[in-house]
Every structure is written in C-alpha cells, then in structure tokens.
Amino acid sequence: MQKVILILLVSLSFQVECNGQSFRSDSARGFVATTLVNDPGKTGLKLPQGFKGTIVADNLGKSRHIAVTRHGNVYVKLDRPSDKGAVLYLEDKNKDGKAEKISGFGDYKGTGIAIKDNYLYASSNSEVFRYKLNDKGEVINQKSPEKIVKGLVARRQHESKSITLDNNGNIYVNIGAPSNACQEKDRVNGSKGMTPCPILDSAGGIWQFKTDKADQSYAEGVRYATGLRNVVGLDWNKENNQLFVMQHGRDQLFQLYPNLYTEKQSAELPAEVLYAINKGDNAGWPYIYYDQFQDKKILAPEYGGDGKKTSGEDAIDPSIVFPAHLAPNGLLFYTGDQFPAKYKNGAFIAFHGSWNRAPLKQKGYFVAFAPFKDGKPVGTWEIFADNFAGTEEVNSPGDAKHRPCGVAEGPDGSLYISDDVKGTIFKISYK
C-alpha cells in the first residue's frame, strides 16, 4: 500500500484560551488552532465564525450513531432501548431544524446505523438488521427486519458493532477486540501477550458482508482488515472508493509496565490514528502501537518492546495521527455544498473524550475537521466544534455535559452530531 500523508502532532500541551480560541498546542505540526466563537444558536458549543447550531432533540438517552434521510429526518441508534425503542425516528415536520415528533422501534443494544438507497441498517452487539424505507424515508417493517448478519463476537469489552457501506452492495462491520493488548491475563501488570493473538480470528478487525444476503456469519463474510483493536468511527470515502477507520489506541502503558513508561508517557501514548484501508490490510494490533513523538511503529511491551524498539514492517502506516486517548467515535466524509469549499470531501471526526489521561487533564469532547483532496489528507487538522463538555476542567467523563459520538450529513449539507450523555442531537449549519 502506498504510504499516504502522515500528519503528526508533536506536542500535546493543549490549553484553552480565554479569547475564544480552540485548544492550542505549543508546538503543533499538523494541528491548527482556529478561532471559535460562542454559537449564536445558543447550544453552548463553540463554532467557527459563520456557523450556527440548533438542538434537534434532547434527553433521548445514550445516543450513539445517527443517520439522516433525504427528507431531513433523523434516525438515532441508542446504546440501549428506551421506552420508545432501540432506534428513534426524529421528524422535523415544519422544517425549523427541531424534531416535533419522536417515535421508535427495536429492542436491542448497539451503536451502528446507516442509510443506503432505500434501506436503513442498524446493528446490535452481535447482529446487523436491514429495514425497508418508503418514499418518505419511514421504516415499513419495524417488527420484521431482515437479519443480514448474525453470531458476531459480543463480549463485554469493545462489543459495539459500527457499520458503513460502500457503493457495491457491501457492508463493513467493526468487530472490536475484547482485550486491551491480547495479554494472557487482560490488563494485568506484566502479563505477556499471546502469540499468535487468538482473538484475531473473530475480532480485532473489519469484516465485509453483503447487504442483501440473509443470516450471514463469519463463514459467509470476509475479514477485510485485521490488527485493529477497536474501530467505532468508520466511513466510505467516495472520492477514491476506499474505507477509512479511526482506531481506539491501547491503554495503561504505565499501569502495566511502570518500569518502562512514566505516567505522563502513558497519558500521551499511543496516538489515536486514522487508517486508509484496503482489503487484506493489517494495522498491527496487538503487536505494535504508533508513537507520534518518535513517528514510528513501536513494539508493544507485551511482546518484548521497551518503548523504543520498532516493529510492524508489514503493518500499514496511519494517514493521520491524533493525540492519545481521545476516543474517536464518529467519522464522516463531508460531500455537501452548504459549508465553505475547504470542507468539501474532508473528514469530520467526533472525539468522545478520554478517561485515562491522568495525571494530565482529560481531553477530547470535540469534533475535529481534517481536509482531504483526491481521497488523501492534506494540510492540517483543526477543532471544528468545541465545548461539548461544558467545562474546561474534565477530571473524568462524568464531568462532561455532552460527549460527541456520531456524525451525519443532512440533505441540505448541514452536519448532525449526537451526544451519548444526555442524548442531545445537534445540527450545525452555515449562514
């Protein structure tokens, strides 16, 4: 695979400035601090000048990924069913940007949801369902969806199944590894990594299935890519017809190997990375991780690494690297025309926010933007929407008012963002 542009963040000493600037890094190659202002729509967010937010709906429950119909109505996948169901349907009848009617269906946990042609796809933690849409974008078989995928690994850790679709009748499903680093005893100080990692036969990668075939399982699917610890945000880039994924990096380098890593190193390693994926690719987990300071693939300590030894010569390189432990949960390539030209075909990434950056402050809780051209990243990434947490002092995720999770594009080119704390759905529009 041809190595794509690598954008590095070499300092993670973010600060929030009082004059409306977004997070700024003292020496950041690959990151630009854009001026953000208080949202004139009074959502509490900070946005670039000229953008305005609307709260489409609030207090829905833990809202994970979202999809918008061509009529501007929103489907929301809840982490667990509410009294209305597992999939909520938000109808904006008077086109004011706010949902006047909320209904729902389904009784399963999960994260993934997507619309393609005249179908809605939604995932539980072990299955993928397909629903038929009518001309109004409404599901007509709420109680009898097609089950197109079944029997996927669904253990307690990294169990959500995120999805995206290409233009050739395929659906891509993340199957997260129920593990931190494939240790013999997971997350136990000094426990060795298993060789080969047995988890990779059924998890730790992306599987490809057909969109129109019932009851597929591993035997009918294709392991499209491996060596990916957990991917919550993924999308199909239509410019170059390629899959892109955001991986959640491993945790607890200091806690598991205090003789090799300081607390600060553990808080800042490894990078969260965006990968451009081709069929058959291996990203290297659990044997390696990406060190954004050394700009190298580093051998994991579970496999004999010391924080300096390199490895993974056959593993793919990242397209973009981001600071550690920000939890990238949503990825969207923007194809609309409403936003200024620089956003066209670029990537929006929703960072859910960290829990394990101590003793440093927890970070994330924002939506970033990375410009692309011809299907490859160019220039520098920036923070597009900020202040979801509602405070500069986030000591734990419980301090955050909102945690962005899903991103979707509306038919008018607006950007929709979900929150899985209060269940708020934001709509961001430009002038």
Domain of 131, CATH number, reads: 2.120.10.30
CA 81 to chain centre: 21
In a domain, 21, yes or no: no
Please give the model's pTM, rounded to 2 decimal places.
0.93
In a domain, 122, yes or no: yes
What pLDDT, on the 0 to 100 scale, is given for residue 357? 87
In a domain, 235, yes or no: yes
Dihedral sign for Cα atoms in the order 249, 409, 171, 132 = positive
Burial class (CB within 10 angstroms; exposed 0-12, middle 13-18, buried 19+) of 219: exposed
Confidence of residue 33 (pLDDT cuts 50, 70, 90): low
The range of the structural domain enclosing residue 362 comes to 31-430
In a domain, 5, yes or no: no
Confidence of residue 391 (pLDDT cuts 50, 70, 90): confident
CA distance 338 to 109: 34
In a domain, 14, yes or no: no
CA distance 85 to 70: 22
Mean of the per-residue pLDDT values of the chain = 91
What pLDDT, on the 0 to 100 scale, is given for residue 30? 54
Q: Which helix (H) or strand (E) holds 266?
A: helix 263-268
**What is the average pLDDT across 139-168?**
95
Is residue 9's pLDDT more than 80?
no
* Residue whose C-alpha is closest to residue 232's, from 53, 375, 353: 353
Is residue 27's pLDDT more than 60?
no
Max mean pLDDT among 4-8, 34-38, 329-333 falls in 329-333
**What is the average pLDDT across 314-325?**
97
Confidence of residue 6 (pLDDT cuts 50, 70, 90): very low
3-state secondary structure at position 238: coil
Cα distances (Å, whole numbers) of residue 255 to 301, 356, 363: 12, 11, 19
In a domain, 345, yes or no: yes
**What is the average pLDDT across 186-197?**
95
State which amino acid sits at residue 23.
Answer: F
Is residue 82's pLDDT more than 60?
yes
In a domain, 10, yes or no: no
Is residue 95's pLDDT more than 70?
yes
What pLDDT, on the 0 to 100 scale, is given for residue 19? 29
Dihedral sign for Cα atoms in the order 97, 103, 105, 109 = positive
Confidence of residue 360 (pLDDT cuts 50, 70, 90): confident
| Tally of domains within the chain | 1
In a domain, 402, yes or no: yes
CA distance 237 to 220: 25
